[in-house]
Amino acid sequence: MVLLSGGLDSATTLAIARARGFECYGLSIDYGQRHRAELSAAAAVAEALGAREQRVLRLTLEEFGGSALTDASIAIPVDGVQRGIPVTYVPARNTVMLALALAWAEVLGSRDIFIGVNAVDYSGYPDCRPEYIVAFERMANLATKAAVEGATLKIHAPLIDLSKAEIIGRGNQLGVNYGLTVSCYQADQGGRACGICDSCRLRRAGFAAAGVVDPTTYRPL
């Protein structure tokens, strides 16, 4: 079970899971994010990397709001990555997504959930930190019928201590076509990136540091 947003990190995570020999199911969540182009990207990435199945589950998190990614009245920051947790933080997003992955994983009989969180070149989101992942895994192993019956669920976060450049290097070795991925928080319908939001800045710097040609299509601003 691979949480697949359609961005760079989750595509690399899927490639790593495949390289480790897992048969992969990609779960993407349509949570009302303004960068909906990432959902099309997720489908393309899943197919290119040989996922056995990919699903998009609709969840109307925009009813709750509270994030620049789900509330169009909050502007996406474009002046550079600042310290602290930015307004693009979506309340409890990874908890919700991992919970949904846990649900589908149990139905499928999967004991392995992969998530592309990263705590190095990241936006400071609390639910990307190693201690959070450990706590979720511990909770998950008390939550399900599968766990009661003896299955041990593992949350894999293979990118968690890698720099963005290292992630790109790893994915490049594994043949990930990053041209299919969309990271931009305000990508247009065609998936073209703004180049100036935090996610674009971290991504662009990562390609530069990795010495890999950046395949991103940037739109004129």
- For the bound state, the minimum distance from the C-beta of residue 122 to a copy of itself, rounded and expressed in Å, comes to 14
Task: For a copy of itself, give the closer residue by CB, 146 or 168.
Answer: 146
Token pair for 168? 């790109």
- Selected binder of a copy of itself within 96, 151, 205, 212 (CB under 8 A): 96
Cα(25)–Cα(205) distance, rounded to whole angstroms? Answer: 30
Asked whether position 81 contacts a copy of itself by CB under 8 A, the answer is no
Say whether residue 127 binds a copy of itself (CB under 8 A).
yes
60 part of the interface to a copy of itself, by CB under 8 A: yes
156 binds a copy of itself (CB under 8 A): no
Q: Does 142 bind a copy of itself (CB under 8 A)?
A: yes
* SS3 state at 154: strand
| Dihedral angle, C-alpha 55, 98, 202, 125, nearest 10 ° | 150
Cβ partners under 8 Å of residue 26, min gap 6: 2, 3, 4, 14, 42, 45, 46, 51, 53, 54, 55
Question: Residue from 39, 44, 76, 106 that binds a copy of itself (CB under 8 A)?
Answer: 106
Count residues contacting a copy of itself (CB under 8 A)? 43
Q: Residue 220 Cβ, how far from a copy of itself at the closest point, in Å?
A: 34
Spatial contact of 52 and 14, defined as CB atoms under 8 Å apart: no
Site mask for a copy of itself (CB under 8 A), range 12-41, x = bound: ------------------------------
State both tokens at 144.
Answer: 């399900």
- At 3 the three-state DSSP class reads strand
Where does 144-197 have alpha helices with state H? 145-148, 164-173
Residue ranges binding a copy of itself (CB under 8 A): 55, 57-61, 63-66, 85, 89-96, 98-100, 102-104, 106-107, 126-127, 129, 131-132, 135-136, 138-140, 142-145, 147-148
